[in-house]
Structure formats: structure tokens, C-alpha cells
Structure 1
């Protein structure tokens, strides 16, 4: 043990200021400055050697769980969204219509430090791994994190592959639960939006018994229930429509109700319902060819209904004074019910014999001029089938058994972890059996141009498609061991060493119910196939801390990993920490990283799925103009979602990275601390599928990727996982804390945590040109130039309050196929939250506040990547102003 220096205490305080530090912590820190009590060294994320938080060479941010409530943050995803270095764009809204690949997400939320991809952010629970979500096998689903059981979250903002694993390229997020609980606490929360939709409720109870020091044991458990009500696109003005002419926005579908037709005999397109205005406001008489366009945005969710339950239990036992054992168990469930527009049905054949052929008697469909009498090709969206509805059921279990203690001067920790993540998708409404549905049109039973008669309704009910369409499971089984101790004396203190190893087995299974999936092309799953895979990872690592001279410490670490399916790698890390004066601390680190392809990236079979955006076939409908080719079908080839052939690639190379970071912490006066950290990451052989808009945007270059049927009609674009090229990004993290100390008006603390991205560039192929992403929407997302979270905290006696702001700078919009006059610049966006707490009654803490205090709507965006239109749901708050209430009673 050693005494903290003034700046060390301040840095520790600074590290805890990321979400807006409560003044109680500030007071504790101030008291510590006046005390000669020695500080206990603990294990801190980023090192296996126990030390003070301020002694690390790594930029580490610590969030106290008590501060979550003060800002009304109710989920792990929402907490991590307050980290400026986190570029996560994957949350509840993405469930609607699937992820950026067009496939269901299983309700997953994920973190993405530095914008390098969620697969390069390592998420831990109490320092050990969690099984990744089964639908991508590359990232942890944040929904399974037991927020109510947490004590703190530690975010290491640079790579730490040498300590935790080769995939921690972007950084490490370590969720740390309470060590022990001896009381019972009941907590209830409610979020009540001003406008209808998205009501949120949570209740949890924690209870424990046993004093570890006196009784030799502690056992506690936490149960949590969280519910989010649906928010539909029609409940908010900014999301009601994908048709905004004054903005140049016309994100619609050519598959409509009533149906559009194409006559191959006369090359005429049309819609019998257009003269009557189509089916406004859902279907509109816009566009050429006499057809209608479906405003599908009107029939989707902004936020799907969601229910989450979690149980976390922990038992700690003292074996003797030097050794203790721990058992942890986590069970979490996530139930998401999402809705999109009714199922689009394309390429239907309507013969002249059908009574619903335009102009035929008995069908009520008006005649259309110029028809040849040949069978019509029809695109129709049967709205009477209802919205497509998918129920995503996720679950996770994790058992961890560990022993730690001191043996012959060595502090050791070892454990066994079994972690499993599961998810399944059910069609519960709206979907139809394609083949039977098409037969109903051909046989004259179904009317594609109007409401169904009794026979048509009965037939439509008979072709409804229900059942489980897919499920997946990933499992991690591992044992780990590490030990550390101090060694010899050096000029700056005692040298210390740590070493350890890990043996881990990864297994993944993905099952597609072909009887269901093969019947629903509108799901994006019709071409999906089952797959499975497994591998073994062995690793050893070592770490050495050398305080060479007073206030100068060098940290050396290296890790060797061996993947049974991807080879082996050695990754070193160097860290420096130097404190030339009590007011200044310098720190820096350099490391390499290595991420092996996931089991899904290597083994996933090819599957044919929908593109995210609508496109024109470059041969049959160049520039949106149908060609004279006799096989051209404008309803198939023009301004419509096309198909892409996706899948894994067994020939993938691992991703490799180099990370450099350097920072300074300055405390000119005891009441002010400033930290600046520069980071630079170079990644090569990035694994991903080439963005579809890149393929369609350069047909000359990528024409070999356009796969066609024997007759020349489009089949799909080939878009498998591949090693695309390099990513280079750098920037600066800034943290500022100002403390008033005690005043007649209470104690005040101001905290600012921000990230400035100087550069983010990537290649779509090896040795190809770089695309600049900072401040502009490129590929599937923007990279924000500047993000920050700021807070002002006040405390006086039993009262406290927090005013917090989150801010994102503006960027150039996606502007896909936009005319120059409609190219959009998305403005900066900020949200303010205000909360106040009262703790004047023994055991009771009451908190109330307002989220999105100014009722800020999301700024307009013309992005077409996600189903929600008119805004970008990944980076904004669709709920609006909401009252936040929380009560917690401990006894």
C-alpha cells in the first residue's frame, strides 16, 4: 500500500466524472486529501497488477452506478451512449427491419468504441468474458447486463489485447457488480413521455446476508424487470412519412396496395387504383408509369415493445484469511415485438382468366387502356394481412466460479466460466406463404387491386405464415489463471510482475427453419441457411511494472494467443507514466491487436437476402429508366429493393491493428483537473461485406458481382464477408472536472467528457482509395467530429441535483441519389436532462426529473439504411420530453 499524491486523488476523481459525478464523491475525495489514511490498491481494468486507479498508463473512465439514476439512465446501452468515445449505432430501433445487413437482430444492443465496429470492443463482466450474441457471433448483447446489480463500469479507451484478448482493439468495457450486499433494497422507476408511446417501467429488488469479514461469507441476489411500451412512427411528427417533397425525400416502395402491374406484351405499367388516389396516405399517386408508391414508413415501429428480466446472484466464501471463493450466476431474458409494413409480394402472375384482370366482369377492377391480354406481372402489398410482426426472444446464462487469494507472496485469481447466449425469432403476424399466396392470385381467388371478398379473406387467412423461423446459440467455456506480486526495489519503488493464461472453447449453432423461412421472401430470411462451428483458443500473457525512477513507471506486457482455426499471434503493449510535478501527470501507451474472424464470418453459408436500400438494376433500368431489353420489368428492376448474396468466407485473414495513445493530466489548482489524451489506431484487413451502395454506385468496377439468372434477369449481388482494406483513425479525448468545495449554497461539481475525431478514413478494398468518414455519412453511418457529455452537479445536505447535456456535432447526410438542391446537412444535436434527489428519510431515496428537457426532436435525415425514415434512430431520441421518477427503499 502507498499514500495517494494530490494529483493521484484528483485523477481518480476525474476518472469517476464521466457521467457527471455526484458531489458526495467529490466530498469523499476532498476528505481523502486531508487524511493520512493509506489507499488500498485494487485491480483496475487494463492491468493485472493491483494499483491505484491514477497509477495506470491507460486512459480509464469509471462510472459509478449511483450516477446512472441521477441522469435517468435505465439500460446498459443508454449508459454507454453517454461515452463520447462510443460510436454504437445498434439499439432497440435497429430491431425494426433488421440490422445494416437487412437481417433480424434478435433485439441486440451493442457497444462500439472508436467506431471500429462492435466486434472490436471487448465487453466483460467482472473481468471475464460473456458469450457473444448468436446472430453475429461478434459482440455482446448489452441487454443481458444486470444494470441494477452494478457497482461501476470501467471503460478502457485504448486497446488492451495484451491483457484481455486479441480482440480488444477499440477498447474494453468492464461491467463490475457489487462485491457484497447485506441489506434489502426495493427500487421502482417510471419514464412517462409527454407524447403517447414509449412508456417505461422498471422494478428491482436486491437482498443479501452475511458479513464476509465477520461471518466468512456473503450471499446476495438481484432481480430486475424492465418494460418499454411500443412507439410507432405515427406517434411522432418527425417520423410519420418517408415522403417529404420539400426535402426531396421519397423513400417509398413500388410494391403497394392496390397493386402495380406490368404488361410484358405492351410494356405498359399501371395501377387501377391510381385514378382514385391509390390508398392515401399509405399509398400515393406519385412517380411515373401510372403506378402507386407505398409509404411504408407509416406502418413501422420507431421503438418496438420490449420486456427484459434479469437475475444475478453472487456468493462469496472465505476459505481462510488468505483465500476466498466466489460463485456468480446470471440469467437474463429479452423479449422484443417489432412491426414493419405488410408483406410485399413481387412477380405475381395475374392471367386474363382472373375476374380481377382489369376490365373483366365480376371483379370490379376498372379497365386499363393498352393491355395486351397477356398475363400481368403484379407487385402487391396485402395490407389486409396486417403488419409483419416478429417476436425476438433472447436469453443468456452465465456461471462463473472463482478462487482468489495470496499464496507464498503471490496474489492469484483463477476461475471457470460457462457462458451461453441464445436467441430465436418467431413470425407472429402479417407474413404469408409466398407460393400459396401467388397461386391465389393466379387462380383468381385473391384480388391484388382491392379489398378481398369473403372467399379472398378466407384464402388470405389460410396462407398466413406463423412459427419459429430461426434460432441461434453461442457458448463460451473457459478457465483462466493469473498471479502477481511485487519484486525487487527500484529507484521509484518496487517492481511488480503478473502472468496468466486462458483456455477457452467457443461454439456456435445457427438453425434456420427452412419450412418457414423458405416461404417468406419478404422477411429477408428466405435464403438463410443453418450453420455451426467451434474452435479452441489458448493464451498466455505476462506483465511487468518497472518504477525506474521516482514518478516514472514503465509497464511492459505481452500476450500469445493460439486459435485452432486462425493461427497464432503475439501482441505486446508498452505503457509509460511520468509525474514530473505534483500538478502534471504524463501517460502513454502503444500496443498491437489481432482479431480472428468469428465463427460466423468464416462458416456462414451463402444466403440470399434483401438489400437495405432501393436500387435500379444498372443494365435493365440504368438511371431509373427502363431499358428496351425484352426481359426488363420496371416493377422488378427500377427503384426497388434488390437481392444480395451474403455469407461467410473461410479464406478470411485476421484483422491486425496498431494503437498509440499519449496523454497529460493537469491540476493547476486543487479544484480543477484537466486531462487530454491523444489516440491513434491503424487497422488493416478489416472484415466486412462491401457496402451495397458502393457496389451499385460503380457498376463498371463491380460488374462481376452482379449475378444473373439464365435469362439475364437479376439474381443478386455477390456480397460475402471479405478483407476490405485499412482503417485509420485518430483524435483527442478531453475530460475536465471543476469542484467548488463546500460553500454556503452547497457543493458544486462540473464535469465535461468529450471526444474529437480528427480523422476516420477507410478503404473498401486493399490498396484502394480512402473514403473520409468524419463529419459525413459514408457507407452505413456517419462519424461525429465532436461528441461530449457535460454535467453540473449540486449537493446540499439531503438534497442533490444534476443537469446534464449530451451533444453530437452535425454532419453531411447520406444524400443517396439526392438532387443538389436537396442535399442535406444534419445539424448538431443536444439533449438536456434534469434530475433532483432527496434522501432525508432513513433508507429512502426519491429521484424525479425530466429527460429531454427541451423536448428536442431528432433533426431531419434522409438516410435510407434503416426502416425508420425522416430521422436517424441510432443517434437521436425518438421519445421526446419525459418525466422520470424513481424511488428506492433500503432496510
Structure 2
């Protein structure tokens, strides 16, 4: 559906010129003052005021009463009450936060429409943009809704359909517009407290103040908000305290190590002496000391936020001046499972001597044999009788004798983050004749500082500590092989760290010398200017064609700068300098301008059209034009039928354009390309995941989307409303890596084939260095795998003859480097429905409502593959999401019940290990097809409140019947934290006092 951009640019320019002529004519008329004008309402989805467009588009509005009755403390909690932002993995909260750049940033949250990802949902405040978080979720930039103060929000408008024709980039799935309070008169103080009914303390405290009044001839509204939330631990609930499956164990215990199987004579892992939990037997018949991640799992991170701001409106002559400002600070801490020191010295002495201080990827570190001296002679000798004691090379260059072990560090990874955000918008508006205009400047910024405060250790220092080579000042000792002595500069030798010695303060102090505190500093800024003008364009069909035109300029900057020890760089062989923590440098900026035109056309007495088009030009990926056509038809006064079609786009995020070597994994699909299957998968159509580094691509194109919406709204009585809307999105050019495509291109493109590490600044596939170093591993013409014209099939034959790989495939090295590409599509469609009815009875009103979403399809191709995944009804993607409520409203009090429903969906059985499947078979948890469903989940919320003369008292009880989340084996937590929570019954008491 490619349209001529030049044609639309010319058409838009003619429209602007025509409007300018009309403005000049109108300017000759007497100027209307703001006092003489009637206030016109503008709704999200249109820049035209005074036209009843709310019923002609599928708009969801949460007003002040809805917000109060929701019992929400934060924007994140509020957005979880509507079906359009529930389901899938698009919206996320701090429940998914973690320690690395692949995780959700600690303390931050995002709202996503239709499960299509937060980067595909445009977040606005008062119709204008807000800076994204500088810390991306993966490579997707998003607006941290935890930084938006709930106390300042008057209402929320949600338009869940493509809206780039009106608002520009990122409105692929729609728009969420947070409308601030203004023109407030009076003062109110609110305090609330929430906690669970369990014995643990998950307390949430919220205090806010709003004041408004006349100041300097205008209205000033001031607000302040304080929020504090305690952490929520898996150990605090019976159903998350213990592992959902015994087979979910890790071989890497936390307190004392197991002895690695390759250091055992029978090649069976040797259990750690003095294990702090029960030993278990593995699927291989080994007995080990296990670790379960729920021991250190925080189901919700602690969060503190403080925010304040103001909205000021006044008249300056005939012009109205509006300014809104808010500032927020959030602090949070994220806990992740303890890191594991899985890296050790290289296996081959040739490589060791060529790079004596290099730490290579392996399975378990070495420790000197003397580590076992802490045990009795009987225990020590019993262990040694079943062990190989091998020679290994230390970072300082010593040749010691020891063995390898499996372990985790004793302390979980702890990451602290602090985010400061502010937003300032200053707007002037007025009239030129009957045309209303407004123009504003916007400055919005988000700054985040992150530090890994515990549980992160330097690679080299840790190996040095194990060998007794660490000095008291944290440096690594120098080794003189002629005298077989170690020496320190300013400090003294600290001694050997013994991972088997638990609870010894001196031993713990040695490990502390290897601790690192990597940091990450981010800043995201938006500078914007816009000008809009709206008015009646011309008479038409005994009515007027109403119109709006506008210009916008925007500059965006982002930087995400981790400390050197947290980055993968060529200089350190693409290894992060610490265990268990990694971030990626990202820096980019862009400039953009856009122009739009919008028309409201009364085609007939009962048929109206909304036509819109917007042209955007970016200094990086180029320009795009996006039109919208919407029709609304009223065959009778009580029924409106509506339809719309629009195109939208998502500009590549600045992180996707500017990220440097982000550590992740990529999957290639051997079923999508036979050559790839023959060279890398033994001819099978399997999927393989490998470690890769992602590299930002400044040449990315914009993602594109077509959206369709068809529906109706019917009001058979003044108190009854029924709406049903079908919606569909075709979303193309999604940004991801395409490992399958790169492997296919590498067959004929030698620049993508590299022996060993991919050189700095290049991209491609990393192969075993032997393909360039061994003359037996060439094609028939003697060409190595890096040379132009090399025959990869002949090199594969040579590789098989030499036994280089374990199977019939070309052998990889690690750290392939892949550019982000426009690869992938998704098609999402469904039906929204809503029913509202109010009975006006003696003594009060009884209100009934039902709203929900049914997903018809959620189809997405696997990254780098043509295979389509049908996600609707699968893991984390329920087909049905709904809520129903009944409320009684009297003059002084209200009470009501709301039921939230999440439909059943498939458990993630395909993502489980073989040992998990064996245990599930024994439990009888799988059906005849080896599958199971996560059960539907319904929780009930009770909301009640009483209105005193100058105060309100509200009580909200969530999950009234204390329903546990549905059992899900696809998550190590035992439940799906995207679609459920483990709090159980919680209560919230809120008190508001109104001052005169």
C-alpha cells in the first residue's frame, strides 16, 4: 500500500495555503476575545474542537470517578484496569525488572495497547509528547509511566487504533492521553494505605495534595505526590515459596559449590559437602546440592516516588497563556538471582600461553586443591578419591593444581536506580476571526542513574582471589616465576578465597575485594514546538466543513552510558568485565518536522467523514505520509455506525539506531532456508539459539502499519450504551536481528564470515578459528572460510573429516555481531465490546457495565524466519480479557463490585527442559498431546466510599475471595506475572479532606 509521498506533500501544502488565505480573510473581521467564546471540547484522536467525535471513534475514557473507584496508587495500576492494555507481554511493570540491559529497567513500567509493545503506543500528556526513558527495554524505548504523577491526572483517554495521521510517529496501536487537572478551585489532601491480608508486609503508602485558586489574574493549580511501596518476595507466599517443579533446579548452588563433573573420575557432579538444603538426584543419576531461583525472587520491587508540579492559566490581552510543569523522582531496587562465575581459563595450553591473562568462556572456575583442607581428613580424602586434580594457569601466570567447581556468588545481584523526570509545556492560544489557534513549546527530560550495589564481581579479580593473588588494595599481584613469588604494590596479599568456606568473615572480606559497582547513566530529552489552527473552512450541505492544520518540530536526544566494566568491547574480546551484569552503550539524536491537515466533512445529514493526513520528515530514515479516513453514520439518533482506515508508522527508536554491542541471543530457523539447514543443522528444520551482540543501525526504516476499525454505538435509552468494535492491524518492517538471513547471505558474502572474533566495527558470523588456522579445513581450492568464493559445503566436508564439530555442521565461535534490521511482520485483530446501563431508582442509581476484548488473531513471524507464530491463546496471550461491574450510587455513598477476567491460554511447555517434561508426565499434568492450559483467572474487587461534608472515605478490597494465580509451569515462579499477581487479598483505605 505504497503511496506517492510527493503527491501528498503537495496536497498538504495546497491545503495549508488555502487555509492561510481563509485566515487572512477572517483576520479582517473583528477579533473575538476568549471571554466571548464558548469553550469547545477537544477529544483524543482529533485536533478539531467543538465537533462530537467521541462517539464516532472507539475511545475509552477513565474519568475522575473511574480513577477513584479503581483503587489505583499509580498510573501502572490504573492502566491494568482496562482490557486494551492487558494481555501479552507489551505492558510491563516492575514485576519483570532485572539486572541487565536485556531486562525491564528496575523501577520502571510501560503501558502497551493490544500487546503490540510499548514502542507502538504513543503516550501523551495533554495531547503532547513526553520524553522516553533513556533505559530501553531490550532495544524498545518507552515512556516510564511510573514517572507520571497520578495525583495530577483528571482523566485518561485511550484511542486504541492507528493515529499517526493525527499525531505522527509511534501511534501504531493507538494513543494514551493523560489529561491534567486545571482550573481547580479549592484544596484537597489525600492519604491512602494499602497492604495484603497476609502476615508479610507489602505496604503501599500514598499522600498527595492539590490546591487551586486565583493567582495574578489567572488560575494556578499545584499538586504534590508521595508514594512508597515495599518489596514483595516469593518466599512470602506458600505457592511461590517452594519451586513449582523439583526439576527446576540449577546445578549452581549458592552457599557452597558442587564439584564440576569434568573434575570427577566418573564424570558425575560431586555434591557439595555441607549443602544447606536437601540433596536431589538429577536426570543423569547424579546427586547434587541444588539451587532454586524462587529463593531470591522479588515478585515486586520496592518503589519510592516524589512528584510535584503546577498548571497555570491566564489571559495576556486577548491571548490565553497556559503552562504546565511537573517534576518526579523515583527510586527502586531490583534483585536478581546471584550471578554464576561460569568463565574459566581456556582448555588448551597453546591458547593459555599465547594469552596468559585471558579469561575464557567455560563451565566452571578452578580453585586450588587446598580449598578442601577445611574438611576433615575423611571427607577430604573421600572427595579426592573420586576427583581429577589438574594443572591450571592463573591470571598472574602461576601454574597451580586444582579442580573445577559449580557455584553462584553468595549475594544476589542488587541494582539500584534513580530517575528524575520533568516536563514543561508553555502554550499561547487565541483567535484570528473565527479561527482558533494555539502554539506551544515543550521540553521534556528523563534522567536515570543505575548502580549495581551488590553481587557483581570482577572476572579477573575473582579468579585471582581463588588463586590467592589478590592484594589488599584490590589489585592483582605480580608473579615472578624465577623465584615463584607473588608481590603487591601498595597493599599486601589478601590470601586465598575459598568458595567452600561459608560464614567466615575473613574469607568474605577477600571476596569483597573483587566486588565491582558498575554504573549506567542515561538521559533522554525531547524539545518540541507546535502550531495548530482550527476553524470552519467553508459551508457545505447546510453545515460547515470544519478543519485543523498544524506544524510541528521536534528534536530528540538519548544517551545510555554504562561504565566500562559493564560493556562488551573488542578490546576485551567482547566480554563484559564483570560476572552477571551487562549494559550497552547507546547514543543517538534526531530532528523531525511534520505538517498535518484534518477535515470534518458533513457528507449528508446523518453521514460524516473525518479526513486526515500528516507528512513527517526525519533527518535519519527519511519521510513518510500517513492518511486516515473515518466515517460515521447515524441512521437513527440512538445509533451510530463507525468505520476508519489509517496508516501509521513507528520511527526506529533512538536506541535501535544507536546501540553498541548489546549482549543477547538470536535464533535462526533452519526450516526457513535449506542451505542454512544443510550447513548448520545437519539438514533438519530445527531452531537454534546462539549468543550474539546486537549493533544499532542508523539506516533502519520506519515500521509501518495499516489499521482498520469497524463498529457501532447504540443507546436505546438515555441510560444505556452498547458499543462493539472490530479492529485489525497489519504491522510490517518490525525491527529485530535476522540471524537466518545473515547466515544465508554469508554463503556468498565473504565479508560476513570471520574466524574467531568478529573484528571491531564489522558484522557477521564468528566461526571456529581453526577454519583459518588449519590447512586441512579449506575447500577443494584451498580457500579458507574467510576468503571470497570459498565453498562452504566443501569446508563442511573437511570439517567433518577432521571431527572439528560434534555433528555434521560448521562450527561456530561465539559472539556473532548482527545489525538490527527491518525484519518481521505481525497481524493482530480482535473485537472490543462494552455495555453500560444505569437504573435511576429511589435513593440512588444502580449501574451495570461489561467490557472486554476478544483476540481473533495475533500472528507474528519468528525473528529471522518466514514461519508464522499464532500467539492468540498461547503463553501469556489470552484470547479473552474482560471486566464486569455493578455499582450503587447514593447521594452520600457508593458501593460496588468489579470482576476482572483473564481467559485461559496454553502453558509454555515447549520452553521446558526434558527433565521438566518427565516430571510433568509423572504428575499427570499434560494432556494426550503433551500440552496443558493455564486456567482462566477471575478476581473480584470491592469498592465503597462515603462522602462527608468536607471529606471522602474510600475502601477498596482487591481479590476479595483470595484467588491464587493460575498454576503455570512455563514460569519458574509458578505463575504468569504478566497476566496475574500473587498478592492475594489486599485492602486499600483512602481518606480525602477538602479545604475551603
Which of 851, 855, 859 aligns to 1:761? It is 859
Instruction: Deviation per CA, 1:393-437: give whole Å up to 9, x if none.
Output: 112111111011212221111100000111121122222223212
2:23 matched to which residue of 1? none
1:826 matched to which residue of 2? 934
For 1:715, what is the secondary structure of its paired residue? coil
Query: For 1:545-556, what aligned pairs fall within 5 Å after superposition?
Result: 545-556=600-611
Cα deviation for residue 494 of structure 1 reads 1.5
Moved more, 368-377 or 420-429: 368-377
Distance 1:287 1:257, change over 3 A: farther
Does residue 608 (structure 1) correspond to residue 663 (structure 2)? The answer is yes
Structure 2 stretches of 5 or more lacking a match? Answer: 1-36, 345-364, 391-401, 469-494, 569-574, 668-688, 744-751, 755-763, 771-810
Does residue 844 (structure 1) correspond to residue 951 (structure 2)? The answer is yes
1:121 matched to which residue of 2? 121
Query: For 1:289-438, what aligned pairs fall within 5 Å after superposition?
Result: 289-320=286-317, 322-348=318-344, 349-350=365-366, 352-356=368-372, 366-374=382-390, 375-383=402-410, 386-438=411-463
Distance 1:408 1:366, change over 3 A: farther
Which of 559, 567, 575 aligns to 2:622? It is 567
Cα deviation for residue 649 of structure 1 reads 2.7
Whole-Å separation in 2 of the counterparts to 1:155 and 1:791: 20
Does residue 41 (structure 1) correspond to residue 66 (structure 2)? The answer is no
Whole-Å separation in 1 of the counterparts to 2:501 and 2:666: 28
The answer on whether the counterparts of 2:388 and 2:403 sit within 8 Å (CA) in structure 1 is no
Structure 1 stretches of 5 or more lacking a match? Answer: 1-37, 613-640, 696-701
The answer on whether the counterparts of 1:312 and 1:329 sit within 8 Å (CA) in structure 2 is yes
Query: For 1:428-827, what aligned pairs fall within 5 Å after superposition?
Result: 428-443=453-468, 445-451=496-502, 453-466=504-517, 469-491=519-541, 493-515=543-565, 524-526=580-582, 528-608=583-663, 643-689=691-737, 707=766, 710=769, 715-716=814-815, 721-741=820-840, 743-765=841-863, 768-777=866-875, 782-815=876-909, 816-817=911-912, 819=917, 821=921, 822=926, 823-827=931-935
Moved more, 42-51 or 311-320: 311-320
Does residue 169 (structure 1) correspond to residue 172 (structure 2)? The answer is yes
Query: For 1:166-245, what aligned pairs fall within 5 Å after superposition?
Result: 166-195=169-198, 196-210=200-214, 216-245=217-246
Cα deviation for residue 480 of structure 1 reads 0.4
2:964 matched to which residue of 1? 857
Whole-Å separation in 1 of the counterparts to 2:951 and 2:39: 30
Cα deviation for residue 177 of structure 1 reads 0.6
1:134 matched to which residue of 2? 134
Cα deviation for residue 85 of structure 1 reads 1.3
Whole-Å separation in 1 of the counterparts to 2:510 and 2:332: 29
For 1:181, what is the secondary structure of its paired residue? coil
Instruction: Deviation per CA, 1:309-358: give whole Å up to 9, x if none.
Output: 111211111123x4200111111111111222333212354355534379
**RMSD in angstroms over aligned alpha carbons?**
3.0
Cα deviation for residue 382 of structure 1 reads 2.8
Whole-Å separation in 2 of the counterparts to 1:846 and 1:856: 26
Cα deviation for residue 850 of structure 1 reads 1.1
Whole-Å separation in 1 of the counterparts to 2:378 and 2:180: 70
The answer on whether the counterparts of 1:185 and 1:205 sit within 8 Å (CA) in structure 2 is yes
Question: Which structure has greater strand proportion?
Answer: 1
Distance 1:77 1:810, change over 3 A: same
For 2:507, what is the secondary structure of its paired residue? helix
For 1:776, what is the secondary structure of its paired residue? coil
Whole-Å separation in 2 of the counterparts to 1:340 and 1:598: 27
Cα deviation for residue 556 of structure 1 reads 0.6
Distance 1:577 1:713, change over 3 A: closer
The answer on whether the counterparts of 1:243 and 1:252 sit within 8 Å (CA) in structure 2 is no
Whole-Å separation in 1 of the counterparts to 2:739 and 2:110: 20
For 2:235, what is the secondary structure of its paired residue? helix
Distance 1:811 1:97, change over 3 A: farther
Pairs aligned (count): 795
Instruction: Deviation per CA, 1:607-642: give whole Å up to 9, x if none.
Output: 335899xxxxxxxxxxxxxxxxxxxxxxxxxxxx98
Bigger relative CO (Cα 8 Å, ≥ 6 apart)? 1
2:257 matched to which residue of 1? 259
Distance 1:708 1:311, change over 3 A: farther
The answer on whether the counterparts of 2:566 and 2:581 sit within 8 Å (CA) in structure 1 is no
The answer on whether the counterparts of 1:807 and 1:831 sit within 8 Å (CA) in structure 2 is yes
For 1:258, what is the secondary structure of its paired residue? coil
2:789 matched to which residue of 1? none
The answer on whether the counterparts of 1:562 and 1:568 sit within 8 Å (CA) in structure 2 is yes
Distance 1:268 1:499, change over 3 A: farther
2:28 matched to which residue of 1? none
For 1:436, what is the secondary structure of its paired residue? helix
Instruction: Deviation per CA, 1:144-202: give whole Å up to 9, x if none.
Output: 11111111000011111011113201000000011222211110011021011321110
The answer on whether the counterparts of 2:301 and 2:332 sit within 8 Å (CA) in structure 1 is yes
Whole-Å separation in 2 of the counterparts to 1:319 and 1:328: 16
- Which of the pair has more CA radius of gyration? 2
Moved more, 138-147 or 667-676: 667-676
For 2:84, what is the secondary structure of its paired residue? coil
For 1:345, what is the secondary structure of its paired residue? coil
For 1:187, what is the secondary structure of its paired residue? strand
Distance 1:772 1:645, change over 3 A: same
Distance 1:772 1:610, change over 3 A: closer
Whole-Å separation in 1 of the counterparts to 2:168 and 2:218: 32
The answer on whether the counterparts of 1:96 and 1:304 sit within 8 Å (CA) in structure 2 is no
TM-score normalized by the length of structure 2: 0.75
1:885 matched to which residue of 2? 989
Distance 1:396 1:367, change over 3 A: same
Whole-Å separation in 2 of the counterparts to 1:253 and 1:499: 64
